[in-house]
Amino acid sequence: MRLSRYFLPVLKENPAEAQIVSHRYMLRAGMIKQQAAGIYSWLPLGFKVLKRIEQIVHEEQIRAGHIPLLMPTLQPADLWRESGRYDDYGQEMLRIKDRHERDMLFGPTNEEMITDIFRAHVNSYKELPLTLYHIQWKFRDEVRPRFGVMRGREFLMKDGYNFDLTKEDALHAYNRHMVSYLRTYERMGLTAIPMRAASGPIGGDNTHEFLVLASTGESEVFYDAKVPELKLGDRAVDYDNRAEVAAICEEFTTLYARTDETHDEAAFNAIPEERRKVGRGIEVGQIFYFGTKYSESMGATVVTAEGNRVPVEMGSHGIGVSRLLGALIEANHDDKGIIWPEGVTPFHCGIVNLKQGDAGTDAACEGLYKALVAAGLDPLYDDRDERAGAKFATMDLIGLPWRITVGPKGLGKGVVELTSRRTGESVEMSAEDAVARIVEIYAAHR
C-alpha cells in the first residue's frame, strides 16, 4: 500500500476521552472511530489488525479440530426463555421488538442458539464429540463501556461450544480449548495466564480466565512469578491425545494464579515470598465446563450405545477478539506509539522515502516496494511529500515492527537503513539484503 493513497486519519493531539494508552493510540493511529458509547467503526488500519487476529484464532481452532460456522447477531427471545436466561440476563441484554411485536435480542453469547442447532440435527452418540465455533459480533449493554475496544458494548468474540457424551469427554474438550488458547495468544506475541475464575451468568463450576498482565487491566490478579515464564513454544501438540493435552493444562495451571474472585490468601502465602506477585490483568478469554445446564433445559439429547436418551455434556469457550487489540497495545508500546508483534502487524514493514521527488530515491523505494510485494509481503510505502520527521513520527505511531529508510546519502554508498521499531536499532545494508532480511523474519510467522 502506498500511504498517499491509503486512508490513515492520524490525530496529532491526544484525544481527551482516552484514559489508557491503547485507547489513545488506537484513536491517534486512525484505527477506530467511536460512533456511540462502546460502539466503534473499524477504520482500515484497525480493521487490518482485527482480521490478522481473527485469522490466527481460526487457524488455531481448526488445528484443534473445532468446526467453524456462523450464527446471526439477532436472536429470538423464545430460545432464551427456554433456558431461563431471558429474565436472568437483566439490563446487559439489548432487547428489540420486530414489526410483529416479537421479542428479539442482540446476542450477548450463543449457548442457547447453538443448543438449538444441535438438538435439531444431532440424535446419536455416534455424532459426538462435536465442537462448533464462530467469530461474531456480540452486544452487551455494559454499565460502564470504557477504554475503547477493551470494554465495548458491541465487540467481536470467538465463541466455541463442545458437545460430548461423557463428563470425561467434555473435560478433554475443556483442556483442548485451554491448549489451543495458549497457542493462539503465544502466536500473537502475548503471554496470557490461565487463572481459576468465577463463572457468572454462563454457569458451571469449572472455569478459567486468560489474563494478560498489564497495569491498566480491570482485574486484580495474584500469581506465582514463575507462571508468566511458562511457554508452549513450538511443541507439536496432538489434540486427540488426552494425556498429553491434560499434562499441558496441568503444567500451566498447577502454580498459583487467580483473580480476586477466587483468590485464597492462605494458599497464596504458601508461595515463597519473593515469588508472590500481585498485579492487574486484562481478560482476553474464558473457558467453561457446565455439563448439562443448557442441554437439559432445552432438550438437547442423544441416544447412547445402550439405547438410552441422555442430555449432552457441554462447555463454552470465548476469546475477546476485538479486546485483544487493546491488550496487545497495552503490552507493546512506548512513548512514541504502538510496537506490533510480527504475528499481528497490519503491514509487515514501512518504507520511508527521505526525498520524495528525487528520481534516485523514488526509484529505489519503488524497487523495494515491488520486491517485498513479489515476496508475498505487505509493505506500507510512505510516498507522501512530507518532512522526514513527520514520516518517522507516523511510522512510530502506527507501530510497524520494521522500517526501511531510503535517502540520497545512503544510496550514494549503495545502502538503505533497516530499523527495528522495538529496539530502535538501525543497520545499513543493500536494498536486496534488507528485503531478504524481512522475508526471513516473517518466514517464522507464517
Interacting residue ranges for ligand P5A, rule: CB under 6 A: 109, 140, 142, 151-152, 155, 157, 159, 202, 283-286, 288, 316-318, 320, 322-323
Which grid cell sits at 440? 526471513
Q: How far apart are CA 358 and CA 122, in angstroms?
A: 67
Smallest separation (angstroms) from ligand P5A to the CB of 161: 7
- Give yes or no for a contact between 186 and 341, defined as CB atoms under 8 angstroms apart: no
Task: Please tell me whether residue 8 adopts helix, strand or coil conformation.
Answer: coil
Smallest separation (angstroms) from ligand P5A to the CB of 211: 9
Smallest separation (angstroms) from ligand P5A to the CB of 286: 3
Task: Count the neighbouring beta carbons within 10 Å of the beta carbon of residue 148.
Answer: 28
Q: Which residues contact 215 (CB under 8 A, 6 or more apart)?
A: 279, 280
Helix, strand, coil percent content, the chain, rounded in steps of 5 = 40, 30, 35
Smallest separation (angstroms) from ligand P5A to the CB of 288: 6
Q: How distant, in Å, are the alpha carbons of 62, 125, 135, 271 from that of 132?
A: 10, 16, 11, 39
Residue (92 or 334) nearer to ligand P5A, CB: 92
Q: What is the DSSP string of 261-321?
A: TT--HHHHHTS-GGGEEEEEEEEEEEEEEEETHHHHHHT-EEE-TTS-EEEPEEEEEEEEH
Q: How far apart are CA 284 and CA 392, in angstroms?
A: 32
Query: What are 138's strand-pairing partners?
Result: 155
Smallest separation (angstroms) from ligand P5A to the CB of 318: 3
Smallest separation (angstroms) from ligand P5A to the CB of 160: 7
